[in-house]
Amino acid sequence: MRRASAYNQILGLLHELQKEYPQYNIGRHLATALDGYGDVWGVPDTEILFALNKYRAQLDMDFKHSEAYDLERIIEDGIDLDNILKEDNETNDQT
């Protein structure tokens, strides 16, 4: 059986990324995967496929969480910052 062309593999991979990470648009996937390439005009399909596979592996290794959760957590930590700093100062004063 013949293997799909790099072009078709790219399309399939982008489709899988859209299903696995629907919160990210195709532009974000491509921009992040190809970030280090500069001008991508002459980049061969095989290299783009390599970059997308590497990007997907990195995504799969990352802890999956929502951006809304991150923002909420940052706000909560910021509100509680005074208490955290007081606890640190008390701990330092006791030692």
* Own/partner long-range contacts of 16-25 (Cβ < 8 Å, ≥24 apart): 16/56, 17/52, 17/56, 17/59, 20/59, 21/59, 23/66, 23/67
For residue 75, give every residue at least 6 positions away whose Cβ sits within 8 Å of its Cβ, in sequence order, or none.
none
40 and 71 part of one domain: no
Strands (E), 1-95: none
Q: Residue 51's closest CA among 30, 22, 71?
A: 30
| Per-residue confidence (pLDDT) for residue 74, from 0 to 100 | 79
Q: What is the pLDDT of residue 3?
A: 79
pTM exceeds cut of 0.75: no
**Domain span holding position 91:** 65-95
Q: Are residues 27 and 6 in the same domain?
A: yes
Tell me, yes or no, whether 53 and 85 share the same domain.
no
Average pLDDT of each block of 10 consecutive residues along the chain (95 residues)?
Answer: 89 96 95 94 96 95 67 79 73 66
